[in-house]
Amino acid sequence: MSAAQSQTTLESKLEALQCHFTWDLETSEPIPLHLRDHLEDIGTEEGNSWLGHIYNLRVLFQYKLGFTEDAQSFFNKAAEAFSKIRNADEGPWLVVNYGNLAWLHHHLGDQAESQSYLSKVNALMNKYPSPSQDELHQEIYAEKAWTLMKFSKEEKRAADYFQRAIRMQPDMVEWNTSYVLGLVYTSDHRDTVLQADLLEKMRVAKEQDPKNLFLAALYYLNLRADHGEEIKDEVLLLRVKQHWSPKWRPCSATSPGIWRPASPYFYVDKDKLEDIGTEEGNSWLGHIYNLRGFVQYKLGFTEDAQSFFNKAAEAFSKIRNADEGPWLVVNYGNLAWLHHHLGDQAESQAYLSKVNALMNKYPSPSQDQLHPEIYAEKGWTLLTFSNEQKAGCRLLPESHQDAAGHGGVEHQPCPSTRVCF
């Protein structure tokens, strides 16, 4: 066989592998920087049952960024993590890991090492065959589902893979928890039949995974909603916790990390916030200062954070020509969290009381929705500094429409509105 034919054969075998290099993940140049930091945010502590999967995915981004030595290091960490979690040095959970290594060495030009890992993949697949000849091994389905659910918009396909993995090995608690949590945020909550089925799935998952407090909280909130109770305050609290808590993982060690903790690339964002302007007369100035305060807090500059939150309140006062109004709900909420993290619980409680007072004095025009001022600020934030531009676009029109009908302020066009088109 000629060298060219041998190379073609190797590449065809590599293309047939099930691993991150063949799953068509979103890894264009701007994305890995964000996702790499995001993977660091969701945690690499011992005992995280998804630790091997996290390291495997971090490898891909390190390679894409050109850090090949770091990539190799994370592959080794992935194998070590799987060994500890599974209490075995070898198993079908290494198929994806070895497949990634085969691709890495191929890209580095070491075809002999690439072929070596291909042989290891084949050996594992022969030793640990799939329960079904027509399907992948359940360990591969689980890792592929986790990856798709976390970093692409393939939730339905991810749910299907989780279902297949669970059907083959129903005793894997973290797989079922991840599957159910994915359904919570992708299901049509207007469909009462589907909601009833989802509630039952949540109940079963909660019993199987009793230490997962976030799952339990979601279950009880959905149960109360199913009985007609008003739960928007509790849901808002969960979302606020998601936004504020450093390295927040909503589903403990069994989470696929579906709900993404707010993890902007802070050093980049700080400059970006300064670039978009803080001049007088900018109708988004209060929002800019609020977000700058949050970024300063995450960077560890708590005094600067306090200063920016105070500037936000002053900016709102000038722009709205009033010292008080519903536009301060987010600002006071930020201050409540800041003082909580600084250990000043009395001051934190004081700002919580201010939030409640504002919400009572300036209720939302609709009981089923947030106040338009909150929608506006949330929309602006999502548009400017997260991957949720579509959500931001949905929120901003609602806020403008509600504001127009209820005497609200007319905002200047959002500086990042162009991302919606």
Exposed / middle / buried, residue 412 (Cβ in 10 Å: 0-12, 13-18, 19+): exposed
pLDDT tens across the length of the chain (421 residues): 555 566 678 899 999 999 999 998 765 444 444 455 555 544 445 567 888 998 898 888 788 877 888 888 888 889 999 999 999 999 999 999 999 999 999 999 999 999 999 999 999 999 999 998 899 999 999 999 998 887 656 778 889 999 999 999 999 999 999 899 888 767 766 677 787 888 889 889 988 988 776 777 777 666 666 656 555 444 444 444 444 443 333 332 333 333 333 333 333 344 445 544 555 667 788 988 898 888 778 767 788 889 989 999 999 999 888 999 999 999 999 999 999 988 899 999 999 999 999 999 999 888 778 888 888 888 877 776 544 444 444 444 444 444 434 444 434 433 332 222 1
What 10-13 contacts at long range (C-beta under 8 Å, 24+ apart), as own/partner pairs, is 10/106, 10/111, 10/114, 10/115, 10/118, 11/106, 13/118
Whole-Å CA distances, 90 to 117, 133, 139, 140: 14, 22, 13, 14
CA-CA distance, 124 to 78, in Å (whole number)? 17
Q: Taking a C-beta distance cutoff of 8 angstroms, is the pair 143, 56 a contact?
A: yes
Measured between alpha carbons, how far is 334 from 417 in angstroms, rounded to an integer? Answer: 24
| Domains and their CATH numbers in the chain | 3-127 (1.25.40.10), 171-250 (no CATH), 266-420 (1.25.40.10)
Rounded to an integer, what distance in angstroms lies between the CA atom of residue 140 and that of residue 125? 11
Closest CA to 403 of 322, 331, 326: 326
Question: HSE on the CB side for 209, CA within 13 Å?
Answer: 29
pTM comes to 0.56
* Residue 409 contacts residue 319 (beta carbons within 8 Å): yes
**413 in Cβ contact with 319 (< 8 Å):** no
CA distance 2 to 4: 5
